[in-house]
Chain A
């Protein structure tokens, strides 16, 4: 069965600090996708990134970066120079193909609080 573990339930840092959110996954599929979503207090899910299982290149987008390591089944997310607006719950997710679409298995989420 597919499983996503975000061991950090809550993280609190001071603005401008760097912070890394951990994500470890389990799957028997050879082809899969990994995702990160941001959920602000308003509730909507904001898509951040999707990574194919065959693409282990790290990615950087502004202050955000992702480290995908198949050897350790991890897909960690780092925010550099954090800002108060980064405060939200962040979810890591793993896709499972279902009738040509993708249903997602979510981790428990990490509540990130950036203090001014």
Chain B
């Protein structure tokens, strides 16, 4: 079964709306989670590293005020796209690794397809 749950799977909303996406680790605690973005027919690009209890680390070119990340607990990271516009339409996907199994690869959520009208 899924070890990383992402919700919602799809969002369609009007321009100017803020959208929150949740990423939960199931059955394990994740001090670090990652958020990726994928535009149509393109690769996945890391947006930011979400750190439990501290500020997220953003990749170059990603606006931290636009993409708010909160990692308030060891099992939940949220990505909020503030005042979303059509150019923010994309596929957002999170990942986490179970630190209890140090040699295991990270797990990905099923992704959130965001469409801004």
What residues make up the interface of A, taking CB atoms closer than 8 Å to B?
A: 33, 35, 37, 43-45, 47, 50, 91, 98-109, 111
Main secondary structure of the interface of B (DSSP, over half): strand
Residues of chain B in range 25-56 having any CB-CB distance to chain A below 8 Å:
30-32, 34, 41-46, 49, 51
Q: Is B113's beta carbon under 8 Å from chain A?
A: yes
Partner of B93, one of A45, A102, A107: A45
**Cβ–Cβ contact A50 & B105, under 8 A:** yes
New A-B pairs, 9, CB < 8 Å, besides A91-B43, A108-B42: A44-B111, A99-B49, A99-B51, A100-B32, A101-B30, A101-B96, A102-B105, A104-B34, A109-B43
What residues make up the interface of B, taking CB atoms closer than 8 Å to A?
A: 30-32, 34, 41-46, 49, 51, 57, 91, 93, 95-97, 99, 105-108, 110-111, 113
**Cβ–Cβ contact A103 & B49, under 8 A:** yes
Residues of A contacting B34 in the complex (Cβ-Cβ under 8 angstroms): 101, 103-104
Bound: A108/B39 CA distance, A: 11
Closest CB in chain A relative to B23 CB, distance in Å: 13
**Cβ–Cβ contact A105 & B106, under 8 A:** no
**Cβ–Cβ contact B49 & A43, under 8 A:** no
Q: From B104, which residue of chain A is reached at the shortest CB distance?
A: A50
**Cβ–Cβ contact B99 & A102, under 8 A:** no
Bound: A50/B45 CA distance, A: 19
Q: From B2, which residue of chain A is reached at the shortest CB distance?
A: A44
**Cβ–Cβ contact A98 & B49, under 8 A:** yes
Ordered by A's residue number, 12 sampled pairs between the chains whose C-beta atoms are within 8 Å are A35-B105, A43-B93, A43-B111, A98-B32, A98-B49, A99-B51, A101-B49, A102-B106, A103-B34, A104-B106, A106-B43, A106-B44
Listed from nearest, the 3 A-B pairs whose CB atoms lie closest are A101-B32, A45-B108, A44-B110
